[in-house]
Amino acid sequence: MFFNLPTLLTWARIVAIPLIVAVFYLPLEGSTRNLIATVLFVVFALTDWLDGWLARKLNQTSAFGAFLDPVADKFLVCASLLVLVQLDRVNALVALVIIGREIAISALREWMAQIGASRSVAVHMLGKLKTTTQMIAIPFLLYDGVVLGRVDTRIWGTGLIYLAAVLTIWSMVYYLQKALPEIRAKAR
């Protein structure tokens, strides 16, 4: 279905992107902008879990929802990474690795689906771990402060985003290795 509750939550993640970016252009104190952007990111990132759960619970899964969900996630992550690069909180090379992998694996999945081999590049636990690491690192970096008087979110976020970059490369290699037999078979 094009407009059911789970799909509307997915659309909300896409609509959230300009809101998160716009926060940094508001005439507010830096820590206030950081907090608002962090809360928005966390709320909309949680809709990723919620829309999947609702789709299964309400039996409202659809091919369109299955397509739109990862697109929304990638838009949210990529836009947030670009904001963080602009704010000098993420190294541009790290962002390029993460965004480049998303484009490459999306293209690979599309091609594999066209040749009837989408199962060979189905989502793997390594990809989920990469996504989870990103989804923790990004709000830490958006917040860019100290939590509970001890936790420096920039330090933790930076470590996690570098870990996410390593997992990004590792998962890309994994997916390419899984697809290679199909690619070789179609090249003949």
| pLDDT confidence of residue 41 | 94
Residue 188 lies in a domain: no
Give the total number of structural domains in the chain: 1
Do the domain assignments include residue 71?
A: yes
In a domain? residue 163: yes
Cβ distance 55 to 24 under 8 Å?
A: no
121 pLDDT above the threshold of 70: no
User: Does 1 have pLDDT greater than 80?
Assistant: no
Record the tokens describing residue 100, joined without a space.
């480049």
What global pTM score does this model have? Answer: 0.87
Domain range for 169 is: 5-182
Query: pLDDT (tens digit, 9 = 90+) per residue, 67-87?
Result: 788 888 889 999 999 999 999
Question: What pLDDT does residue 188 have?
Answer: 65
Residue 187 inside a domain? The answer is no
The larger pLDDT score, comparing residue 22 to residue 109, is at: 22
pLDDT of residue 118: 66
